[in-house]
Chains A and B, each alone.
Chain A
């Protein structure tokens, strides 16, 4: 846990979550949600200090290859097989402010759509040089970047013939525990996004499009790797205009 001493800490409560923009809990087309969705209404409450605070991680946490999935599991001198890409973007809040010091964790299947996980039984082979996880922390501008191979699509037991579009999972910590978010990034132009029972748990097409990273030609590195740009928006927080003073403050 580190201090972000260059900026005055923010203590406002977070904007209410727009739960019509997010997927509802019960989405029967995604079968597992049926028995794992609460049926009663959530108890709504303006954020208290227990939610407006959250863990913050220092850059010292990171190893040199933590944001290089092509090499962080590979044998010396070797690298993962697949389409070499860079994924980069910024973490902003709903006010458009950068979120510095945000820890991002990401995980994905290999180029053939195979995850390195003991429960995974897909017949596509593992890549001995690909583990599939990485992490990084945003800089002062909220920017992040990592190197990887483009994951392949992958079949899953939901409908008889359901396939996930190519995707990378993201876990994001902002500055408050109420900002905690896990989501998935999709790739521009993938026709499978609109067939996917998980992507389409999100009711609004514009919200799904917020998860689709465009090919970023400007940042493509010639003869090396193409780039995709994926910005992430976390909940904004109120400026503390006229808040009740917390005890002892």
Chain B
């Protein structure tokens, strides 16, 4: 017999359920007076460095219907490619940029919207630069474990072409599911949970 490795098991995930808003965005759910504001509503202020952009989209189920009870969270680098996290050792991120946002999909059309900045490039593990991207996490009723994906930007074709993650997608026609088209300062990113246009989801 050898020594035991002694690792614990991760707590298993469960669905966020239809009332996730009560806990994560109570003011949005109409429960006021407990928290002043809903966390993650605002990522930028007047002093935030970088190009202001809007990222919006829908989360769409296998029947083509937009989810109206999902919560989308995003996490991204600042304009210089630095993360606002204690584990960021390459430098100090822009103190006027949180890097993290949370938005429930709207009750009418199921749209999420983030007012943010375009992230700079951060390095892959081997030092190559990743293309600018936003990390996305989606939870909702019917989703047993949060889904990770990434948003890349259609006007970064050159960087996207050399991105190590995009390069690993074997079915090249699926790369487009991670690339948001641009119109003015708005990027539109629809997330398809299932079917022909299924978004590439990540196990990271």
- A interface residue numbers (CB < 8 A to B): 1, 3-4, 9-11, 13, 15-19, 21-25, 27, 30, 32-40, 42-57, 61, 63, 65-66, 72-73, 92-96, 105-107, 115-120, 131-135, 169, 171, 175-178, 180-184, 198-199, 201-202, 206-208, 210-211, 232-236, 243-249
Please determine whether B144 and A73 come into contact, CB atoms closer than 8 angstroms: no
Alpha-carbon distance A247/B150, docked complex (angstroms) = 21
Provide 17 A-B residue pairs closer than 8 Å at the C-beta atoms, listed in order of the A residue. A30-B142, A36-B61, A37-B142, A38-B193, A39-B195, A39-B198, A40-B201, A49-B88, A53-B87, A94-B10, A116-B30, A169-B23, A182-B16, A206-B9, A207-B9, A246-B125, A248-B123
Tell me which of B7, B85, B140, B142 contacts A236 (CB under 8 A): B7
Alpha-carbon distance A92/B169, docked complex (angstroms) = 34
Please determine whether B35 and A22 come into contact, CB atoms closer than 8 angstroms: no
Q: In whole Å, how far is A55's beta carbon from the nearest beta carbon of chain B?
A: 4
**Chain B contact residues: over half helix, strand or loop, or mixed?**
loop
Interface size on B, residues (CB 8 A): 85
Tell me which of B20, B31, B135 contacts A177 (CB under 8 A): B135
Please determine whether A24 and B144 come into contact, CB atoms closer than 8 angstroms: yes
Please determine whether B165 and A45 come into contact, CB atoms closer than 8 angstroms: yes
Tell me which of A61, A119, A246 contacts B127 (CB under 8 A): A246
Please determine whether A247 and B127 come into contact, CB atoms closer than 8 angstroms: yes
Chain B residues with Cβ below 8 Å from A236 are 7-8
Q: In whole Å, how far is B43's beta carbon from the nearest beta carbon of chain A?
A: 10
Closest 8 CB pairs of A and B: A107-B23, A32-B142, A53-B85, A36-B142, A55-B100, A42-B203, A35-B62, A23-B144
B117 at the A interface (CB under 8 A): no
Q: In whole Å, how far is A206's beta carbon from the nearest beta carbon of chain B?
A: 8
- Per the 8 Å Cβ criterion, residues 124-153 of B in contact with A are 124-127, 129-130, 133, 135, 137, 139-148, 150
Chain A residues with Cβ below 8 Å from B198 are 38-40
Please determine whether A21 and B125 come into contact, CB atoms closer than 8 angstroms: no
Chain B residues with Cβ below 8 Å from A35 are 61-63, 65, 142, 193-194
Given contacts A22-B12, A182-B13, contact A45 B127 (CB under 8 A): no
Chain B residues with Cβ below 8 Å from A44 are 202-204
